[in-house]
Amino acid sequence: MMESKRQKQTAEIIRRHFGHVLQQEGTYIYGDAFVTVTKVMVSPDISMAKIYLSIYNVNNKQLVIDKVSQHASQLKKYLGIRVRKHIRRIPELYFYIDDTLDEMFRVNKLLDSTLKKDEEVRNQDK
């Protein structure tokens, strides 16, 4: 199902502003992990928002998600203050790990090592 224009606009407002909320409040919650908002998806009735977070500088990413989730109501309040002119009712916030970049780096490493092996084999055949 395609997202409505309102869903997309709401998601983009939340994505932009929630990043600022994390910059201000994040260190109290998860320490020196580097966390960015990569994507937000909003339900058709705007009652739920799935927020995808990219997490670096920490070994246990799920722990960061758990800590952020524990503070969801506080973070929702701060988000509400920031977006009250744009969004009437702030949706419930749910947090997920966005592994896209990690996966990309993993695939690039695999490709690099495969290319090196191919080159070694070619050099041996000469």
14 falls within a domain: yes
Rounded (5°) CA angle 57-63-65: 90
Per-residue pLDDT reduced to its tens digit, 16-69: 999 999 999 888 888 888 999 999 999 999 999 999 999 988 889 999 999 999
Task: Kindly report the CATH number assigned to the domain that includes residue 66.
Answer: 3.30.300.20
91 falls within a domain: yes
108 falls within a domain: no
20 falls within a domain: yes
Give the dihedral of Cα atoms 19, 20, 21, 26; nearest 10 deg: 80
Would you state the structure tokens that stand for residue 50, as one six-digit string? 């799935």
85 falls within a domain: yes
Q: Determine the Cα–Cα distance for residues 71 and 93; give it in Å rounded to an integer.
A: 10
111 falls within a domain: no
66 falls within a domain: yes
Per-residue pLDDT reduced to its tens digit, 61-95: 999 999 999 999 999 999 999 999 888 899 999 99
Q: Look up the domain containing 17 and give its range.
A: 5-99
pLDDT for the residue 126: 67
Q: Kindly report the number of other CB atoms within 10 A of residue 35's CB atom.
A: 23
